[in-house]
Amino acid sequence: MHKESKSLVWGIILIIIGFLFLGNNLGWFYFEWQNFWPLLMILGGILFWLFWFTQKKEVGLLMPGTILISYGVLFLICTLESWRWMDELWPIFLLGPGLGFLFMYLLGTREKGLLIPAFILVFLAVLFWSDYFYFSYLWPLLLIGIGVLLLLKSRRMANSFHGKNAILFFWVYFDLILIIGFQFSYLLFL
């Protein structure tokens, strides 16, 4: 980004912020800082993403940008609605960095090491949300299925199942888990 365009962007941002505070002080409109402070976090996150768009080599800008946007949205929901939503939405604290790692992988140099924390954090966020969305009965079955897959990959079972057969067995098992789980969750809503 050129110096002139940087000055232009920062000048516009400062004018808008100054106008908001001046309009509030003069009574032109009512702006409650206590309700809209998360917008600054979201704006900061958007700025990190904009800087990344101008300098695609700086993949590290995606992490703080994603965290600020996700946390800003969480805090905005809580300030506008009610802080009681934090009971259900707190896994966003795990989801923000997880998505940050995922975006760093997808939009960067595809370093495989970024996928490990990405999937762990996103998986934990979904796992903790599963109780809220009544999927808490499915994840234990998923763990059992992963355990069965690991057993199939062990040396003792390697003679009877090989490669494609083990994967096919796992997907059939996983489909059965989903069918049973959705039927069970349907019964919960009756």
**Span 167-188, pLDDT tens digits:** 555 555 555 555 555 545 544 4
- Note whether 40 and 95 are same-domain residues: yes
- pLDDT, mean over the chain: 77
pLDDT in tens, 114-123: 989 998 998 8
Higher pLDDT, 151 or 174: 151
Q: Phi, psi at residue 121, to the nearest 5°? A: -70, -40
- Note whether 44 and 122 are same-domain residues: yes
- Note whether 43 and 98 are same-domain residues: yes
Number of domains composing the chain: 3
d(CA 86, CA 79): 10
pLDDT in tens, 5-42: 667 777 887 888 888 788 888 888 776 777 778 988 99
d(CA 65, CA 54): 14
Q: Is the dihedral of CA 24, 27, 28, 30 positive or negative?
A: positive
SS (H, E, C) the chain: CCHHHHHHHHHHHHHHHHHHHHHHHHCCCCCCHHHHCHHHHHHHHHHHHHHHHHCCCCHHHHHHHHHHHHHHHHHHHHHHCCHHHHHHHCCHHHHHHHHHHHHHHHHCCCCHHHHHHHHHHHHHHHHHHHCCCCCCCCHHHHHHHHHHHHHHHCCCCCCCCCHHHHHHHHHHHHHHHHHHHHHHHHHHHC
Q: At what angle do helices 163-189 and 139-153 cross, to 10 degrees?
A: 170
- Note whether 9 and 46 are same-domain residues: no
pLDDT at 1: 52
pLDDT in tens, 123-141: 888 878 766 655 666 667 6
Residue ranges making up the domain that contains 186: 134-190
- Note whether 11 and 87 are same-domain residues: no
- Note whether 87 and 27 are same-domain residues: no
pLDDT at 137: 64
- Note whether 165 and 114 are same-domain residues: no
- At residue 157 the predicted structure's pLDDT band, cuts being 50, 70 and 90, is low
